[in-house]
Structure 1
Amino acid sequence: MPVSTVSIPVGQWFDSNEGVRWWFDSGSFALDFAYTGTIGGIHAEDQLHTPDDLTTWTRERFPVPVGAARSRDLFDAVALRDTIARLAVGRSLGEEARPSDLDLVNLYAATPDIPPSLPGGTRQAGRSVQTVSQALSTIARDAVDLFSVSNADRIRTCSGGDCEVVYLDTSRAASRRWCSMQRCGNRAKVRAHRARRAVQSAA
């Protein structure tokens, strides 16, 4: 099974409409990237307006130095990001993927990615600073893993009635239900507690 060539932490903080900050573990670095746009109702605005926005995101998220983004990099990044978002939402709804979307992910995945390396060596092998196109290839390769057959039933929408957040369930028992226990999981607990109290009061 294809895997990301760089060990990259997954997950990020979001601010809810109620002003509460919550941690979202998407389960996939490619999905984290998709959430720089509007997917699952989390973001009302695109986070990648300029090449500088893309530069900031890649430098914050990759554990290796990444060069500055150009206008062409931004165009490519948005195309890849939106495609991953469409594929993720479609998969969560049980829809068939569009061949053109699969082709685009495969295209980026086929280009040179950020190579793995062992720390502690005395010589620099390859580039000292990776390119944005290499970063996009690494994201695309993670997307290939994300949309593999083995994950077919693990890309889901949060069980919260009014939540459309999509995530990859990486739990051993494939039993994850919520986008976050701090958000929808906690709301469900509160509702269940109130329902129990109401039943007890009526008894």
Structure 2
Amino acid sequence: MTDRFRSGAGRLCLDFIRTLRYRGTPSESEELPDAAAWGAWIDQLGPFPAPVHPASAQEARALREAVHELLTESTVRPAIRQRLNRFAALPVPAPSLTSSGELRWQASDPASAMLAMLARDALDLVTSPEFARVRPCAGETCGALFLDTSRPGTRRWCSMDVCGNQAKKSTYRAKATAS
């Protein structure tokens, strides 16, 4: 089974904002249209052992847009800062050790705990030296952000397998057509 949602951006909050796929392009697509989709995202990328069934995706989308503004705008509006701080103040999951020695994460409200984790991750990222390495993907229609962990800091695409491969194919076709 393949994963429904993209991951691998380098930080959980960066994977989260990718749920508005192709942001800012005519192909923009909402990946969290309802509670079931938000629950599926948590199930795929969150730490909880059991499926999560949130009541709504509205708060998740509101947090996603606040995180995106935090990471992309030079000045964060006070309302956005308050929203981020409110989500970050929610209870986070607690670790527990099972009788077989496995680590499990528990929360009375896993969806809210996931929102807290995402907000805290975004606040941590924007105040860390890593933030200087957050890059927009150079893919023409991608719109994603990623953390460039390459040694020289010159990575251009969120994914070499997808965006990088498409760019290289386009360059190859353009050269072949010009010949």
Q: Give the TM-score normalised by structure 2.
A: 0.73
Partner of residue 62 from structure 1, selected from 46, 56, 61: 46
| Matching of residue 85 in structure 1 with residue 64 in structure 2 | no
Q: Select the structure with the greater relative contact order (CA < 8 A; seq sep ≥ 6).
A: 1
Answer yes or no: is the 8 Å Cα contact 2:98–2:104 preserved in 1: no
How far is the alpha carbon of 1:186 from its aligned partner? 3.0
Q: Which amino acid aligns with 1:49?
A: P
Q: Which amino acid aligns with 1:63?
A: P
Q: Which runs of 5+ in 2 are unaligned?
A: none
| Matching of residue 98 in structure 1 with residue 77 in structure 2 | yes
* Equivalence for 1:150: 129
How far is the alpha carbon of 1:147 from its aligned partner? 1.5
Answer yes or no: is the 8 Å Cα contact 2:93–2:106 preserved in 1: no
SS of the residue corresponding to residue 132 of structure 2 reads coil
What does residue range 171-182 of structure 1 map to in structure 2 within 5 Å? 171-182=150-161
How far is the alpha carbon of 1:40 from its aligned partner? 5.5
| Matching of residue 31 in structure 1 with residue 14 in structure 2 | yes
Answer yes or no: is the 8 Å Cα contact 2:54–2:111 preserved in 1: yes
Relative distance call for 1:77 and 1:42 in structure 2 (3 A) is farther
Relative distance call for 1:137 and 1:186 in structure 2 (3 A) is same
How far is the alpha carbon of 1:34 from its aligned partner? 1.4
Q: Give the share of equivalent positions with the same residue, in percent.
A: 33
> 1:40-74 deviations in whole A, cap 9, x for unaligned?
64962222222222222212222313542113xx2
Distance 2:26 2:130 in 1: 23
Q: Give the TM-score normalised by structure 1.
A: 0.66
Distance 2:173 2:59 in 1: 48
Distance 2:158 2:104 in 1: 40
Q: Which runs of 5+ in 1 are unaligned?
A: 1-11, 15-22
> 1:145-171 deviations in whole A, cap 9, x for unaligned?
221241332111123466533212233
> 1:102-140 deviations in whole A, cap 9, x for unaligned?
222122111111123445468x99957652111111111
- Number of residue pairs the alignment of both structures matches: 174
Larger radius of gyration: 1
SS of the residue corresponding to residue 111 of structure 1 reads coil
Distance 1:97 1:43 in 2: 26
Q: Which amino acid aligns with 1:169?
A: D
How far is the alpha carbon of 1:89 from its aligned partner? 3.2
Answer yes or no: is the 8 Å Cα contact 1:40–1:166 preserved in 2: no
Cα root mean square deviation, aligned: 3.5
